Structure 1
């Protein structure tokens, strides 16, 4: 245990008794004074702050304004403000305006003042008025005339995308909505298809061969490489393929909504059905298209119609997946900064896609296709949905094919697998039998 040792040195002598007595007397004399200087000044300060000052502000405002504002110091000192040229403004004139009697306003007028006032007028009056009062007009010019990707691509010319036996057409599912659609005939007819018009393509649908309607995923257009890859595979197998761009996608007009996309798919199905006689019609949905496909399948069941077959590639389940952003957010952000002018313009565009519930109501044969390394939809999602569909229709009518993750197909690359044509052909043959 350490001990504290005091420093060695001379000890201070104890205070004398006389000095101690004097300090006690002085202290008693100081504490016993009833009214000291700080008390006087404190009361005076309170009087000024709480009585004099409020009275002055309330009772004499004109006097205060006169002495505070009218006779204030001016900076810079000794500056002649009537001579703007002395301030290197050789294109500015000084003038005096009279706003009220006895009031003279000194004004410098220059080009930047004009444009500055115009900018303030636009920013604080024109723009807020336009945003609040004319939302429909803004939506028309921002959304309807948005930029499209790929840039400068003419989707009305499928031959420019190496599809030389394909025709482009536009359908109208609703008033004011135009859908761009590519129709590719079987590859065996590519020579015969050269130079043929829309009527020939429509008549070819009734030749008896299977017809596929491919409902693509989110983002991009019907010209995306993986979508054209699927179309070429199906055409090579001897099938007709129709690939639409939903409303708001590609060169199709309108705003994308869940109901709108479902309406587009239903219209195209009925259009094909009316022209294909008794041909087999198969719906192939990829990613977002799986939600559209199951929606339309349930709507047709309500009408007493059962689809011949459904292929669901890269299927998602909104009820069990956390989708961190709105699927159609790309549509509203085509112009940079639009999200700052409109707070979540997609807020009213609700998207549900109840795929799991739809599968419980569907009565069509279903084929699930999924890659084990899908980076957007984990393999557990289609496995769970496959079990749901199989529990309702039976394992004979609901099949699932998975592709090894080592192949690197991810979400969009299944069309590259050499086994895919055989898998599709086998599925179609099971539907025909």
Structure 2
């Protein structure tokens, strides 16, 4: 939806509230918080304080980092909130600086600041609940940047990371875009975006980041992804698996071409929640 009232997420997804978080002086980001479906009945009409307190209810928390283009209100992102909310996860979906109703200007380091500010906010409220970083497309590089910084600068290991339709780094993603397909679907858009990110000094080097991570890492890729080829997801998996001491912590799952999930629609696969819960050892 092009025109969306971010303050009223309930028009698109139930059990959801909108909030704003100041991530550094002068930058405020918009966030939607969806609570687990099992708490849906009691969530009706509740305020932000109730939602914040709900974070400590022992259900796992997903920090959802969306891909490029659009906002947290895009249909496939709303589907993610519905699917994972129904599976009894909390989801915190933010629009980075310069996106949606968030202020500020997009930069790679700025995105990391936004994500870690949200992590700190969630960690302060979530008790012993696990917090999972979930990145899709562009968001996969944002996720690995944040998790690496958390580990290297604070000595904190993330509970888990899920990378959906990931690339190795922006340069390689831009070089691998099948131009004919892109021009047919949206003329030059994704290619130009990736190219301009690289020119703007944004690199999102997930292939370097995963070499130093130690947390559980799940990589998801559809065989028919026409934007980021699955060979990049596999390459990222192989890089991580080679570097990890405990190989069992790294998993790669592909979705068959016949499912037609492409780049954006893995969140429509009905078995996704069970697959993720199994990986996280969540009941």
Question: 2: distance between equivalents of 1:197 and 1:171?
Answer: 16
Q: 1:219 to 1:312 in 2, by over 3 A?
A: same
Normalised TM-score (structure 2): 0.89
Q: Are 2:109 and 1:259 aligned?
A: yes
Tell me whether 1:307 sits opposite 2:168 in the alignment. no
8 Å Cα contact 2:7-2:18 kept in structure 1: yes
* Secondary structure in structure 1 of the residue aligned to 2:129: coil
Query: What is the deviation of 1:328?
Result: 9.0
Does residue 216 of structure 1 match 2:66?
Answer: yes
Which residue of structure 2 aligns with residue 409 of structure 1? 261
Does residue 369 (structure 1) correspond to residue 234 (structure 2)? The answer is: no
Cα offsets for 1:388-413 (capped at 9, x unmatched): 11112243000011000111111001
What is the aligned partner in structure 2 of residue 320 from structure 1? 172
> Residue 203 of structure 2 aligns with which residue?
352
* 1:98-135: CA deviation from partner (whole Å, max 9, x where unpaired): xxxxxxxxxxxxxxxxxxxxxxxxxxxxxxxxxxxxxx
Distance in structure 1 (CA, Å) of the matches to 2:195 and 2:26: 20
Tell me the TM-score normalised to structure 1 length. 0.59
Conserved? CA contact 1:213–1:269, under 8 Å: yes
Aligned residues: 265
Counterpart contact for 1:218–1:327, Cα < 8 Å: no
> Do the aligned partners of residues 156 and 327 (structure 1) sit closer, same or farther apart at CA in structure 2, a change above 3 Å counting?
farther
User: Are 1:425 and 2:277 matched, yes or no?
Assistant: yes
Compute the displacement of 1:326 (Å). 3.8
* Structure 1: unaligned runs, 5 residues or longer: 1-149, 330-345
Query: Shift in Å at residue 294 of structure 1?
Result: 0.3
Given the alignment of the two structures, is residue 170 of structure 1 paired with residue 37 of structure 2, yes or no? no
Q: Can you list the C-alpha shifts for 1:172-195, whole angstroms capped at 9, x where unaligned?
A: 001111110000001111111111
Distance in 1 (alpha carbons) for counterparts of 2:96 and 2:102: 6
User: After TM superposition, where is structure 1 displaced by more than 4 Å over at least 4 residues in a row?
Assistant: none
Matching residue of 1:391: 242
- Within a 5 Å distance, the mapping from 1:169-208 to structure 2 comes to 169-208=19-58
SS of equivalent residue, structure 2 residue 125: coil
Q: Which runs of 5+ in 2 are unaligned?
A: 176-190
Find the aligned partners of 1:215 and 1:372 in 2 and give their Cα distance: 22
Residues 403 and 200 of structure 1: CA distance in aligned 2, closer, same or farther (over 3 Å)? same
Native 8 Å contact 1:294 1:355 kept in 2: yes
Which has the higher relative contact order, 1 or 2, with Cα contacts under 8 A spaced 6 or more apart? 2
Give the corresponding residue for 2:98: 248
| Cα offset, 1:321, TM superposition | 3.5
